[in-house]
Structure 1
Amino acid sequence: MNDDTGTAGQRFWDARYSESRRVWSGEPNAALVAETTGMEPGTALDLGCGEGADTVWLARRGWRVVGVDVSGIALERARIRADEAGVGERTEFQRHSLGASFPEGRFDLVSACFLHSWQDLPREPVLRTAASRVASGGTLLIVGHVGARVWEEEVGSHVEQPTAAEVLKSLELPEAEWEVQVAEERERARPSPGGHRTDSVLKLRRR
């Protein structure tokens, strides 16, 4: 579930999704489930939605969700999945290279799960923009890998995978306007496909 700046990222991820009929597991991210279960449904923005598992999971629980990804192939799969799940009317899918363009509006929930890339993704500015899209009283959820850089040996490029505390610091948010509800690392029950065993979870509420 990734996004890159510019057409190079679009080409890369379209090619990646073209390699198989399904890239991801089809299950919603565990941290998203844990941190949003019980929340009052509203509007949500799912950044790097990929094939739509998180978007559909939220929509089935009453949220109205905008799913965003750089890959048109991934977004088409997400649309089909939403229609098959009976939540097509509660979902909208938009193609954005987040370093260059971003969805308009404010949302009760902005989720960025595993928004990593070895392409030219300006992750910190993107996450700051994500924070600016959170409505008053809304929630920002950022989940990422920590530790082993799964792609570094493969492509010879550095991929930032900071801790929750480091992500929080990089957001540069006014403390008076935000409540930190979760900022921690969590061990996975089983490694990710790339071998990651630890995830960072940052959950903030806009006052």
Structure 2
Amino acid sequence: MHADPEASTDPVVFWEQRYGSSHRVWSGAVNRALADVAEHWAPGRALDLGSGEGGDVLWLAGRGWDATGIDLSATAVARANAVAAERGLARARCIAADLAAWSEDPAAIEGDAEPYDLVAASFFQSPVELPRERILRAAAHRVAPGGRLVLIAHAAAPQWSSHHGEEFPTPESELRALALADADWRVEIAEVRERAGRGPDGEVHPLSDSVVVVRRR
């Protein structure tokens, strides 16, 4: 993901500009990889990092999860909460907050004291400053025993992008960055998955996603 050269480099301003530029930025649907891995899991408490307009949070809440999303953009959060209210999804809530601050002090976010059965980060990548590895390591500490951490990331630039020199996460690099103890965690999935995506030309192209699922023992 790349920023407009004229866009702000301040993360809050950048994402507010991004979401404010359109009535809706994303489809509102769940990310397919999350649905694929979590479809048959028993519901519990879930946390979605960088929840955007709430597609994953709404899907989880609709399946019985008490789902919380955290995103930097108040505009995106307002859209997610509005859809949750329209659908009567009382189990869904999204909060506008800085995950960089949360990674250093989880108490910075009200109502975030209890551990989670699922912590997910879907395409938690940014063209502006984002201490991603620090946030994901902090996220692992919020997973309850028996719970899971799910990381889904762009593993390569799409064919239509002119920016192919950027370094993208791999399942191996994600696991190295997390530095989880084998005695405490079990790797359930660590692979690159292919899916179809529609480019700006309207044609369908293959996209590569890094998918990592680790479970706390």
TM-score after normalising by structure 1: 0.88
Q: Does 1:122 align with 2:122?
A: no
After TM superposition, give the deviation of residue 189 of structure 1 in Å. Answer: 2.2
Matched, 1:109 2:118: yes
Show the counterpart of 1:144. Answer: 153
CA contact under 8 A between 2:155 and 2:169: conserved in structure 1?
A: yes
Aligned residues of 1:107 and 1:134 also touching (Cα < 8 A):
yes
Distance of aligned partners of 1:92 and 1:159 in 2 relative to their CA distance in 1, 3 Å threshold = farther
Q: 1:117, 1:159 within 8 Å by CA — same for their partners in 2?
A: no
Residue 84 of structure 1: how far off its partner (Å): 1.2
- Describe the SS at the equivalent of 2:43: coil
Residue 196 of structure 2 contacts residue 206 of structure 2 at CA under 8 Å; is this kept in 1?
no
Could you tell me how far 1:191 is from its partner in structure 2? 5.0
- State the Cα distance separating 1:149 from its structure 2 match: 7.5
Moved over 3 A (4+): none
Unaligned runs of 5+ in 2: 1-8
Q: Which of 48, 53, 62 lines up with 1:51 in the alignment?
A: 53
In structure 1, the partner of 2:4 is: none
Aligned to 1:198: 208
Secondary structure at the aligned position of 1:121 is classed as: coil
Is the alpha carbon distance of 1:20 and 1:196 closer, same or farther for their aligned partners in structure 2, counting shifts above 3 Å? farther
Query: What is the Cα deviation at residue 96 of structure 1?
Result: 1.8
Aligned to 1:91: 92
Q: Distance in 2 between matches of 1:100 and 1:84?
A: 31
The structural deviation recorded for 1:153 is 6.0
**Residues 116, 64 of structure 1: alpha-carbon distance in 2 compared, 3 angstrom cutoff:** same
Distance of 1:133 and 1:96 partners within structure 2: 17
Q: Provide the rounded CA distance (Å) in 2 between the counterparts of 1:11 and 1:190.
A: 28
Q: CA RMSD in A?
A: 2.5
Which amino acid counterpart does residue 113 of structure 1 have in structure 2? S
Q: Deviations over 1:13-33 (max 9, x none)?
A: 111111111000111000110
> Which of 163, 168, 187 is the equivalent residue of 2:170?
163
Aligned residue pairs, count: 199
Encode CA deviations 1:38-74: one digit per residue, 9 max, x unaligned.
1100000011111111100000000001111000000
Q: Please, which runs of 5 or more residues in structure 1 have no aligned partner?
A: 1-6
Question: Which protein shows a greater Rg?
Answer: 2
Contact preservation (8 Å) 2:122, 2:153:
yes
| SS of residue matched to 2:196 | coil
Percent of pairs with identical residues? 45
SS at match of 1:45: strand
Name the residue aligned to 1:79: 81
- Is the CA contact (8 Å cut-off) linking 1:149 and 1:159 kept in structure 2? no
Question: For residue 41 of structure 2, what is the aligned residue in structure 1?
Answer: 39
Distance change in 2, residues 1:123/1:160 (3 Å): farther
Give 3-state SS (helix, strand or coil) of 1:38's partner: coil
Cα distance, 1:161 vs structure 2: 1.8
Amino acid in the other structure paired with 1:187 = E
Superposed displacement of residue 201, structure 1: 0.2
Higher relative contact order (CA 8 A, sep 6+): 1
Q: Could you tell me how far apart the structure 1 residues matched to 2:172 and 2:118 are?
A: 20
Q: Distance in 2 between matches of 1:92 and 1:76?
A: 10
- The one-letter amino acid paired with 2:144 is A
